[in-house]
Amino acid sequence: MTFNSYFFRDKKDNYIALFLWFIFCLFYICLNMPYVQYIKDNADVLSVYSPFYGAPFSLNLFNFDPSMEYGNATGTIIHPFYNFLSGPMTYLSSQSLGNMLFLLLQSAINALTTILVFFMLRRSGSDRVVSLLFSAFFGVSSYSIFTSFIPDSYPYAQFVIVLSAAYLQKCRAEESFPMIPNASFTLLNFGITSTNVVTFAGALFLSLFNRIHKKRTFRRFMSIMISALLMIIGFTAVQYLLFSGKTWVSNVFSGLSNGALGYVTSFSFAHHAKAFYMLIISPILTPDIALIDPGLSAFATDLSKPYPVYVSVVGIGLILMSVLGFIKGIKSRETWSISTYILFALLLHIVVGFGLSAYAYDLYLYAGHYLFAFFILAASFVSGIRNTTMKRILIGIVAIFLLVTLANNIVKHISSLDYIQSSYTNVLPKLEK
């Protein structure tokens, strides 16, 4: 069975998904249009304070970097083959719609990621109501809104991650793991953000794992990884030819020093107490922002303000449901495969401490690598409840969570732009004098 025939075999699901895609695409565009217009109307003023080397996108939000506007920049160990994408997109945007091109394209991509979550839930056995609620809940998340217009790697990385997880779901259902497609997904995950290859490889191994045929599991896994390695070598050779002899390999050591190890520090509860909020809850419910660094015009979470009670209730409620979903399905390969994304994120950002050295500038931006997994696990918990009354109560609670998140994110998204405008008008010019 092909990917299309597995996921798109139900016409009613397809119509719902098409409606979802259209609504969310429109939602992202309408909500973010004022930001893009503000950048266009104030380009001369914003460029004076922009830390982004003259890139047309000049707002420094949540530590995102408008890397899609850096053209054929040399690949790095963090984003090895990203310039295959950023090069053409930089040219197309400069010759056409500018930042508006990224808003349109990335809104479509994030809306597509949302419907992938819907299809994953439907094919894992969730009914339409649960699938629709949780996919919409994911779709209105703060992270999906902001990454729809910031020209960085994250919407593309998140889409590839979720698409890869969807493909593995199909493979598990059919007990068939074709070598070339899985090697290609390994290449894609590595090419956009190298750490994503770890989660995909982990999810693949757990999907393949069979206690009776352990040797067969290992052989198949290694065959796929070797094929992926050969593909990576091939693409590195193409990168060498296309980009004047510059490849991600030539930048490994400086990239590790400046772009990877430079972000690592040990976790300290006294200093990083809000890390879990910044990693999980803020990407769902937009936090209050502050101008935390006038020198870099950096806007990020205002850590001086307490999180509202409703934010904690919704965020912790979702986390609790996802934990219960993990416990409920702890014996299944699907649960472990999806949980890999969350477990690796905790290992990377809390245990290893990647990103903690720039903690004040936000951990928000990493959420696309694992956020979807919380919604998948939480939905599996709600779907598995047999008591009809209890299930209806939980569905009602999730519906309330969805509406609260939607209202919070719309209000905070609008107020964030007001705060940014005020900062450029009243704060930054005075500091410059």
pLDDT tens string, the chain, 433 residues long: the values are 788 889 999 999 999 999 999 999 999 999 999 999 999 999 998 998 889 988 999 999 999 999 999 887 777 888 899 889 999 999 999 998 999 999 999 999 999 999 999 999 999 999 999 999 999 999 999 999 999 999 999 999 999 999 999 999 999 999 999 999 999 999 999 999 999 999 999 999 999 987 666 788 889 999 999 999 999 999 999 999 988 888 888 877 655 555 556 678 888 887 888 999 999 999 999 999 999 999 889 999 999 999 999 999 999 999 999 999 999 999 999 999 999 999 999 999 999 988 888 888 889 999 999 999 999 999 999 999 999 999 999 999 999 999 999 999 999 999 999 999 999 988 777 665 5
Please tell me the predicted confidence (pLDDT) of residue 226: 97
Q: What is the DSSP letter of 130?
A: H
Which residues does residue 301 pair with via DSSP β-bridges, in sequence order? 289
Q: What are phi and psi of 87, to 5 degrees?
A: -60, -60
Please tell me the predicted confidence (pLDDT) of residue 113: 98
Comparing C-alpha atoms, which of 247, 86, 92, 73 is closest to residue 153?
A: 86
Residue that the structure tokens 């910044």 belong to: 278
Which residues does residue 290 pair with via DSSP β-bridges, in sequence order? 300
Comparing C-alpha atoms, which of 365, 398, 392 is closest to residue 379?
A: 398
What is the spatial distance between Cα 51 and Cα 65, in angstroms, rounded to a whole number? Answer: 9
Helices (H) and strands (E) in the chain, counts: 18, 3
CB 301 within 8 A of CB 287: yes
Using CA atoms in the order 241, 246, 252, 256, what is the torsion angle rounded to 10 degrees? -130
Question: CA distances (Å), 330 to each of 141, 334, 378, 397, in order?
Answer: 27, 9, 13, 24
Which residues does residue 293 pair with via DSSP β-bridges, in sequence order? 298
Residues in the chain: 433
Please tell me the predicted confidence (pLDDT) of residue 253: 61
Q: What is the DSSP letter of 191?
A: H
What is the spatial distance between Cα 257 and Cα 309, in angstroms, rounded to a whole number? Answer: 40
Please tell me the predicted confidence (pLDDT) of residue 261: 65
The 3-state DSSP class for residue 2 equals coil
